[in-house]
Structure 1
Amino acid sequence: MQPATPEPTAAPAVDPPVEATAEGVAVDKPRRGRPRSEEAERAILEATLRLLDEHRSIAAISVEAVAQEAGVGKATIYRRWPGKEALVVAAVESAEVPPATLPGRSLREDLVIILENMRLQAIDKRGDGLMGMVTGEMKRHPELHRRYHEVVVEKRRAVLREVLQRGVDSGELRADLPMEVLMDLVTGPILVRKLVRENASLEPELPAQLAAALLDGIRARS
């Protein structure tokens, strides 16, 4: 009779490795199979947007809730953003309509493209609800308000400022108007239709109409 073959000994269970968050709290590292790198970042931002849309409040969400919704560990979030406010700014920025590339062939063409991008942002339903909620919430979060303007608003304005300055330098636009006035003249009409006149039309023809009217009004005079 053959002697019984001994059964293999099971390997001892090993606790998952832990990492420390920015708050000094040890949490499990994301296990194999969880989203990583670009996939993880996309999952985190989408989870943040879903929670913001669901709760309509920045205060009502937490890094822990976002981690659970995204299927990642808290440390995965803290490796990318220092805290909730930075995460919310990144999520809002990710929900924006990507800016179109400006060909730089003419001032009029670049202005139409910028205005069309604004129009698309204004009619985007997800961005619409998110922007209304975040704008109201920011009054209670001064640092978030500052970061949002620095990361999102100023980025848009920098593109417009560069285009208008090029027009001033080439002699196509009046040099006697402050740059901030020129920028407000360009962005004002769509913002008014979006924020003040709620039922105002934002038809596809609007950017070209605005660009033509603006250039007739602010063009340099010979």
Structure 2
Amino acid sequence: MSLQDGGIPEPQDDGAGPAPAGEPGPARRGRPRSEAAEQAIFDAAIELLEAGTPLAELSIEKLARTAGVGKATIYRRWPGKEELFVELLRSVELPDPVLPGTSVRDDFVALLESIRQRGLAKRTSALLHNVFSQMQLYPKLWDAYHHTVIEPRRRLGLDAVRRGMERGEIRADLDVELVSDLFTGPLLIRTVIRPGGTLEPGLAERIVDTVLEGLRPRT
């Protein structure tokens, strides 16, 4: 059993075959050890980032050494550090909201409230603030984050608009992307363009109700 680069040994097949009937089988291999290795790698990345290591200096070699695993252990899970960082960010961010689907108002209140909560988390988490402030300097990393994190959230809004149009809650002659942007734009301004903007409770409801006033079908 090799400890390549100081890595965690991978489980081996002992050739024992299945346990006889009535006897407990061997412990399930692979997944618990995989989860432990992944958590060690995430913990190492967080430790280095919180210590002020710039993203440019956060190499796979340094991550492996800090986590106590081999570089091969990291590369088996992620093709490069960009993909690793994106998954790390997903692990420390709030999960994507589950939209109720009961009405366009309910859907966008849930979606905007999740954006508001993320904005608050980014202000209180030195890790998130540090990573986001650097991430846009690295196009490959930003593109990976946009593709795997931002774009799925954007599709949630587009789908909510389409459902609202199908139900007659929103005028069907409007551009779907424009309508989605009208809902999410005010919160994105306060969390990205004006990061000091107020994010008070009830803001999501106020934005949604204000925007809906101009989007309802004309009578």
Q: TM-score, normalised by structure 1?
A: 0.78
Query: Aligned-pair distance for 1:128?
Result: 5.3
SS at match of 1:55: coil
CA contact 1:103–1:110 (8 Å) conserved in 2: yes
Structure 2 counterparts to residues 176-187 of structure 1, below 5 A: 176-187=173-184
* Deviates most, 52-61 or 108-117: 52-61
Aligned-pair Cα RMSD in Å: 2.5
CA distance in 1, matches of 2:50, 2:67: 15
* Deviates most, 144-153 or 48-57: 48-57
Structure 2 counterparts to residues 56-95 of structure 1, below 5 A: 57-95=54-92
Of 5, 12, 17, which aligns to 2:2? 17
The answer to which structure has the higher helix fraction is: 2
CA distance in 1, matches of 2:163, 2:124: 30
Query: Aligned-pair distance for 1:150?
Result: 0.3
Structure 2 counterparts to residues 165-176 of structure 1, below 5 A: 165-176=162-173
CA distance in 2, matches of 1:187, 1:53: 30
CA distance in 1, matches of 2:55, 2:163: 39
SS at match of 2:160: helix
Instruction: List per-residue Cα deviations over 1:185-212 (Å, max 9, x = no partner).
Output: 1111111112333432211211111111
Gaps of 5+ in 1: 1-15, 20-26
Give the letter for the 2:163 counterpart. R
CA contact 1:18–1:28 (8 Å) conserved in 2: yes
Q: Tell me what 2:156 maps to.
A: 159
Instruction: List per-residue Cα deviations over 1:159-214 (Å, max 9, x = no partner).
Output: 11111111122221122332221121111111111233343221121111111112
Q: Tell me what 1:202 maps to.
A: 199
* Deviates most, 134-143 or 124-133: 124-133
CA contact 1:55–1:61 (8 Å) conserved in 2: no
CA distance in 1, matches of 2:175, 2:53: 38
Q: Tell me what 1:221 maps to.
A: 218
Of 30, 40, 59, which aligns to 2:8? 30
* Deviates most, 136-145 or 189-198: 136-145
Q: TM-score, normalised by structure 2?
A: 0.79
* Deviates most, 179-188 or 151-160: 179-188
Query: Aligned-pair distance for 1:83?
Result: 1.1
Query: Aligned-pair distance for 1:72?
Result: 2.3
Instruction: List per-residue Cα deviations over 1:55-113 (Å, max 9, x = no partner).
Output: 25210211122223323222211111011111111112222111232221222111111
Gaps of 5+ in 2: 12-31
CA contact 1:86–1:144 (8 Å) conserved in 2: yes
Q: Tell me what 1:13 maps to.
A: none
CA distance in 1, matches of 2:123, 2:42: 14
Q: Tell me what 1:10 maps to.
A: none
Q: In terms of Rg, which structure is larger? A: 1
Give the letter for the 2:167 counterpart. S
SS at match of 1:102: coil
CA distance in 1, matches of 2:181, 2:53: 29
Q: Tell me what 2:24 maps to.
A: none
CA distance in 2, matches of 1:214, 1:200: 19
Query: Aligned-pair distance for 1:32?
Result: 8.0
Q: List structure 1 runs of 4+ shifted beyond 4 angstroms.
A: 125-132
Give the letter for the 2:153 counterpart. R
Of 93, 96, 103, which aligns to 1:96? 93
